[in-house]
Every structure is written in C-alpha cells, then in structure tokens.
Amino acid sequence: MRRPRLAVALAVLLLPLASSCSSPSTDAARTSDPITKQPKVALARHVDPPIDAATLEANGGVAYFAGGCFWGVEHFMEQIDGVLRVESGYMGGHLENPSYADVSSETTGHLETVRVYFDPARVSYGAVAKRFFEIHDPTQANGQGPDIGSEYLSAVFVTDPAQREAAQALIQRLEARGYDVVTKIEPAASFWLAEDYHQNYYVNHNKQPYCHTPVNRFGDSP
C-alpha cells in the first residue's frame, strides 16, 4: 500500500480500487520457505456476524496482530475455525483516531493491526497466534513483502500475561527451527478501526492476497 509521499491524497482516493501487495512470484523469490498452495475460489461478499464483544473480551477471546498489510492478515485469520470476526485497524501510535493517510505518513507510530474475536471454547489463543506466524514472514524487519515502512512491522499486541507467554513460546519454537524472528511483543493499546473500505477487502473485491501465504514454519502441518 506504499505510495509516493506527494501522492498520498490521490492514493487514499484510489485505494478501494487498488491492490496493496506484490505478485506471488515476488514473494516466492524472497523466501525459501515451502509455500502451501491455496486454491483460488470465488467468494461472496462478507458480512460480519453479530458478536458479544464485551463477553468475548472478558473471557479472553480477543487478540491483536500486526504483520504487514492488514488486508492479508485479516483474510487468513477469518478462515480459522472458531474465529468469529476480524477487523482491520491501527494500534501502537500516539495519535487518536488516525486515518489511513495519517498512518501511512509514518509519523504516528501506528502499525496496521487486526483485531481478532474468537470463541475460546472452540479455538485457543495459542492456535490463533500460531496461524499468525504461519501467514506472514516474522523474520522481515523492514515491513512485509513489498510493503516497506514502519506501519508494516511485525508485532503481537497482548492483553494479558497468558497471551505474552503463548506468543513467546511460539517465537522460541521458530527460533529453535532456525528462524531469526523480529516480531515484537507489546502490550495492547487503543485500537482504532480502519476505514470501511479496508474491512474484508479481499473477499469483498473477490481477490486473493499476494503479500501473505500460509507457510509450514512449525513443521507440523500436513
């Protein structure tokens, strides 16, 4: 989603029609990880189901992840059985209620972040976090794929010590397998919902993400 600084306003106007990610060949050339091929299927326009956000938060059913363009992270996290809703937004900065243009200026300190609501009775936080590490490259320090910049850095924003412990355990597993993980673990802060056109972007535009691809980094997937 990077655009030249002088064309930020134009980019914001055109974003609903544009794609933010690279081609699959670019990603494949950049990483030596074995890529899990995903079938391309036509998807109906997505409508988020109703949820009881307060109850989910009270029961530990909310998680926050930043791993590059939020379109791709949201797309794959929504496919987890037990995940009820995923929202794209911004976290980690100092400006209240930032816009996409604000965050893209790299002056607010925010990362493109997704908020994941999940049912703890159906899927654990650890399983959700594990999927996050499988769908983005946690070793890329300057962004994600072709999206370079501070708003595209890799981070897990945790809500309690249990989430921190689970995220740290996953990073240790990856490091034991030879990955130089740069993902930061930070306490969750204010989450600002992104503009409507960012929500469920790939499904609503019948597109497939190129920046994010499932990779068997933990060595335990079929």
The residues carrying an active-site annotation are: 69
Q: How many CA atoms lie within 13 A of 132 on its CB side?
A: 31
Query: Which residues are CB-contacts of 145 (< 8 A; sequence separation ≥ 6)?
Result: 21, 22, 26, 27, 30, 68, 69, 137, 210, 211, 212
Angle at 205 between CA 125 and CA 221, to 5 degrees: 35
Nearest to 67 by CA among 44, 86, 48: 86
**Cβ 175 vs Cβ 138: under 8 Å:** no
Q: Phi and psi of 156, rounded to 5°?
A: -115, 120
